[in-house]
Chains A and B, each alone.
Chain A
Amino acid sequence: MTQVPTQTIAKSGFPELGPPGLLDTMRSEWTKLKTLRSTYVILGLGVLFIVGLSALITFLIAANEASELKHGSIPSPLITIQGAQVGWEFALLAFMVLGVLVISGEYSSGLIGVTLLATPQRKRLLVAKVLVFAITLFVFTEVMSFVNFFVGHAIVSAYPAYPNTSLSNNGVLRVVIGMGIYVTLIGLLGLGAGALLRNAAGAIAACVGFLFILPIALSALPDSFSNPIGEYWPTQAGMRIGLLHQDAHTLTAWWGAGDMALFIALLLLLTGYALSKRNA
């Protein structure tokens, strides 16, 4: 076997192109997100819950209360908001699952090994995934939130005797925008858990525990414990931005959102650290 002369040694591919950066990684992650069927299934469920289910509930409440109006009871002026929020409870679970799948799907299929060959800068990879997913989910849920509001508004308008809500009412615009912020943060909770646990079932279980089970368990404790913890519990606090009124022992809308955002930021920092330390 003879040694090849040095001049025939192959050179790097596409030397005329610069090295890839964050935007290239984001472009790649965007392609991945939009070429999986699960993305469309879950966003479709989101539309169904947020717009469809909410519209149905709004209609039922409006129809019911409108009939009671005849009997002289006092109408609630905020029906548009109340009915509109039912669907979000289901939709946020779907978005959390989507967040988990964005990363766990790479581990279950083994794609992560190839992804890391293309982008060995693991923190850049995580930043790209988080940005692409967060921007996509935020834009989608904001659009859905406004559609949801106007559909509800139109339904309530069908009952002229009934006081309707408008975006200019105190806090209503904040609630409509805030719902998108809250569920986007929930989606990122899923992504962080998925990246940490690298397994869809485990990550979904962990998120459900964090979102629903622990807060319920907490409420079984004496109020002196549960009130301060529940006040700052990230997903409970974050929810305030999508609700019209402040309850007892809850943070205000923006403090609550800030509390949850801070928690998610810390979770993602931890995820970035784990990703760069672990073998994959």
Chain B
Amino acid sequence: MIQVRNLTKHFGPNIAVDNLTFEVQAGRVTGFLGPNGAGKTTTLRMILGLVRPEKGTATVDGVSYQRLRAPMREVGAVLDAKAYQPGRKARDHLLALAQASRIPVKRVDEVLGFVGLSDVADRRAGNFSLGMAQRLGIAGALLGDPPVLIFDEPVNGLDPEGIVWIRTLMQGLAAQGRTVFVSSHLMSEMALTASHVIVIGRGHMIADSEVEDLIKRNSGIVVRLRTPKAEVVVPRLVAAGGKIQTSSNGEDDGAIVVTGLEAAAIGDIAFQAGAPVHELSPVEASLEDVFMELTRDDVEFHGTGAGAIP
């Protein structure tokens, strides 16, 4: 389990991480979401002892990273896939990491096989594609068979096959009872991978919640309405407090997207206006929609859902 308490960090006058408190539980994939520049990587680097927090603490199973006795056997992390010297062979890169952590040397070939790099183990890693680099980074993270795994934007630059592989891998690791913490700015990816998400914006907490709850709680009411007498209905909807958006899928199929009014209320208004209704359907927001909504005005949502985990 990863515990972060009141973590704070400025870079010059800019606040990178603003009093973050959260826990990442074992046995599930936790997504760490936020727009670019939200402070995700800085938070991860503080958890891993690479950046010193100004205030607050970050611990793994109660111990700060710097005090872990065998860190790579406790935490596996991939921050930057290309963090290796290009002239060194993949196997030698992993060998040096294994030796530094007192991990059996035979483990090197095991993880190389697992990530599918056995055939290129003796090639210089500088010639690796980004996908191969990600696999080499993941091999390094798995080297110590650690109970906690941290990945920073692992699917960046991967082809669809690689993305599916990483998604399956992360879910498999969580199913083994490991703590899996994955940062991403791709909401759609996290919707498929994570069961729990922590959302930050400009360094502070926006949401810390189960994915389903987050969507339910923040969906608002979105209803699709299709009617041939839109010009009559729309002013009445607006008068009743509804907001009109353009069609959600961007196609002009005659549908109106209404927010702020229940489907039943919209139906009643249309009936009173004498307008025939061809479609009236509540729309479920995606995690993507929720995220856009949350991060658009992150101050308003400050602290929403923080500490929701028991």
CB <8 Å contact, B196 and A1 = yes
A200 vs chain B, min Cβ distance (A): 12
In the assembled complex, B293 has its CB within 8 A of some CB on chain A: no
CB <8 Å contact, A9 and B88 = no
B194 vs chain A, min Cβ distance (A): 9
In the assembled complex, B104 has its CB within 8 A of some CB on chain A: yes
CB <8 Å contact, B177 and A35 = no
- List the A side residues contacting B82 at CB < 8 Å: 109-110
Mark each residue of chain A from 64 to 105: 1 if its CB lies under 8 Å from any CB of chain B, else 0. Answer: 000000000000000000000000000000000000000001
CB <8 Å contact, B77 and A117 = yes
Given contacts A14-B103, A114-B97, A117-B71, contact A109 B84 (CB under 8 A): yes
Given contacts A12-B73, A25-B100, contact A114 B140 (CB under 8 A): yes
- List the A side residues contacting B80 at CB < 8 Å: 110, 113
Out of A109, A118, A280, name the residue touching B50 (CB < 8 Å): A280
In the assembled complex, B189 has its CB within 8 A of some CB on chain A: no
CB <8 Å contact, A118 and B26 = no
CB <8 Å contact, A10 and B70 = no
A147 vs chain B, min Cβ distance (A): 28
Contact residues on A (Cβ < 8 Å of other chain), bracket: 35 or more
CA distance A148 to B112 in the complex (A): 44
In the assembled complex, B92 has its CB within 8 A of some CB on chain A: yes
- List the B side residues contacting A37 at CB < 8 Å: 87
> 6 pairs across A/B with beta carbons < 8 Å?
A4-B28, A17-B73, A18-B102, A35-B88, A35-B92, A38-B87
Mark each residue of chain B from 76 to 89: 1 if its CB lies under 8 Å from any CB of chain A, else 0. Answer: 01011011111111
- List the A side residues contacting B28 at CB < 8 Å: 1, 4
Out of A9, A36, A111, name the residue touching B83 (CB < 8 Å): A111
Mark each residue of chain A from 112 to 134: 1 if its CB lies under 8 Å from any CB of chain B, else 0. Answer: 01111111110000000000000
CB <8 Å contact, B79 and A113 = yes
Mark each residue of chain A from 32 to 58: 1 if its CB lies under 8 Å from any CB of chain B, else 0. Answer: 100111100000000000000000000
Given contacts A24-B100, A279-B50, contact A31 B95 (CB under 8 A): yes
CB <8 Å contact, B99 and A27 = yes
CA distance A32 to B84 in the complex (A): 11
Closest to A27 in B: B99
Mark each residue of chain B from 53 to 91: 1 if its CB lies under 8 Å from any CB of chain A, else 0. Answer: 000000000000110111111110101101111111100
CB <8 Å contact, B195 and A1 = yes
- List the A side residues contacting B85 at CB < 8 Å: 32, 36, 105-106, 109, 111
Q: A12-B73, A114-B84 are in contact. List 8 more A-B contacts (CB 8 A).
A: A1-B195, A9-B147, A9-B177, A10-B179, A14-B144, A117-B71, A117-B75, A279-B50
Q: How many A-B residue pairs have CB under 8 A?
A: 140
CA distance A167 to B156 in the complex (A): 63
Given contacts A1-B210, A4-B28, contact A28 B99 (CB under 8 A): yes
CB <8 Å contact, B87 and A120 = no
CB <8 Å contact, B102 and A20 = yes
- List the A side residues contacting B83 at CB < 8 Å: 109-111, 113-114
Mark each residue of chain B from 202 to 214: 1 if its CB lies under 8 Å from any CB of chain A, else 0. Answer: 0000000011100
CA distance A12 to B178 in the complex (A): 10
CB <8 Å contact, A120 and B144 = no
Tell me what chain B mostly uses at the interface: helix, strand, loop, or mixed: loop
Chain B residues with a Cβ under 8 A of chain A: 25-28, 45, 48-52, 65-66, 68-75, 77, 79-80, 82-89, 92, 95-97, 99-104, 140, 144-147, 176-179, 195-196, 210-212
Given contacts A38-B87, A117-B48, contact A24 B102 (CB under 8 A): yes
- List the A side residues contacting B195 at CB < 8 Å: 1
B225 vs chain A, min Cβ distance (A): 34
CB <8 Å contact, B73 and A113 = no
- Complex interface residues of chain A between 236 and 280 (CB less than 8 A to chain B): 279-280
Closest to B124 in A: A37
In the assembled complex, A222 has its CB within 8 A of some CB on chain B: no
A43 vs chain B, min Cβ distance (A): 15
In the assembled complex, A19 has its CB within 8 A of some CB on chain B: yes
CB <8 Å contact, B147 and A120 = no
Given contacts A36-B88, A117-B71, contact A24 B101 (CB under 8 A): yes
In the assembled complex, A13 has its CB within 8 A of some CB on chain B: yes
CB <8 Å contact, A116 and B95 = no
- List the B side residues contacting A118 at CB < 8 Å: 71-72, 97, 100-101
- List the A side residues contacting B147 at CB < 8 Å: 9-13
Out of A9, A12, A27, A120, name the residue touching B49 (CB < 8 Å): A120
CA distance A38 to B140 in the complex (A): 24
- List the B side residues contacting A224 at CB < 8 Å: none
CA distance A203 to B211 in the complex (A): 50
- List the B side residues contacting A9 at CB < 8 Å: 26-27, 147, 177
CA distance A9 to B179 in the complex (A): 8
CA distance A37 to B87 in the complex (A): 7
- List the B side residues contacting A31 at CB < 8 Å: 92, 95-96, 99
CA distance A116 to B68 in the complex (A): 12
Given contacts A13-B146, A113-B79, A120-B71, contact A4 B26 (CB under 8 A): yes
B75 vs chain A, min Cβ distance (A): 8
In the assembled complex, A3 has its CB within 8 A of some CB on chain B: yes
CA distance A32 to B97 in the complex (A): 9
CA distance A1 to B308 in the complex (A): 14
Most B CB atoms within 10 A — which of A3, A14, A37?
Answer: A14
